[in-house]
Amino acid sequence: MALRFDRAAFRQACLALATTLGLSGCGYHSISSYLDHIDTIRIPRVRNQTTMFELEEEMTSELQRQFGVQWNDGNDSRLVTSVFDYQIEPIRYDVNNLPEQYRMSVRVSFEFYDNVKGRLIASEEETEFHHDFYVVSGQGEAPEDEVTARGNLVEETVRTLYNRLATRW
């Protein structure tokens, strides 16, 4: 028995597959579809266990700003964040053995709670984030001072946390 290729059936199957993929959005959707009962979030002050006391205020403000894009301030959910370590170390030197590039890093833990259903949504223990920056010109990137680099590190860290918690693939 020979198999016959049915062109019309093939086209119909392709159209059905394309429609299904188009309607499903290829797997990407906002967490709001998973947590549609959550409209608000409470973000208490970041627990800072480092000697860089500015991190507490900078991280708290950036978390509230970024997560405020998705949720209003309130008690439907709660994001508790802690910073455990903050370091700056040179990673590249010039010919005179003077540092020209540094790596700034923080270790962060968080717990994201659903207060409406009384459950933990997500948590991570001591995840490390880093930002590399130059302190000299002529390296293809603008030089940064410590305050600017720390601001960039905080922004990148919070953006990563937001992407992990506020959107899902």
125-136 per-position pLDDT tens digit: 999 999 999 999
Total Cβ atoms within 10 A of residue 133: 22
User: What is the tally of structural domains in the chain?
Assistant: 1
Range of the domain at 80: 30-168
pLDDT at 168 over 80: no
What digits encode the pLDDT tens for the residues 51-100? Answer: 999 999 999 999 999 999 989 999 999 999 999 999 999 999 999 999 99
CATH number, domain with residue 85: 3.30.160.150
25 is a domain residue: no
Please indicate, yes or no, if residue 12 is contained in any of the structural domains: no
Q: How many CB atoms lie within 10 A of CB 91?
A: 12
Task: Convert the pLDDT of each residue in 135-150 to its tens digit.
Answer: 999 888 899 999 999 9
Measured at the CA of 85, the angle between CA 80 and CA 89, to 5 degrees, comes to: 145
**Residue 41: inside a domain, yes or no?**
yes
Whether the per-residue pLDDT at 13 is higher than 90: the answer is no
What pTM, to 2 d.p., does this model score? 0.77
The residue written with tokens 């001072």 in the block is 145
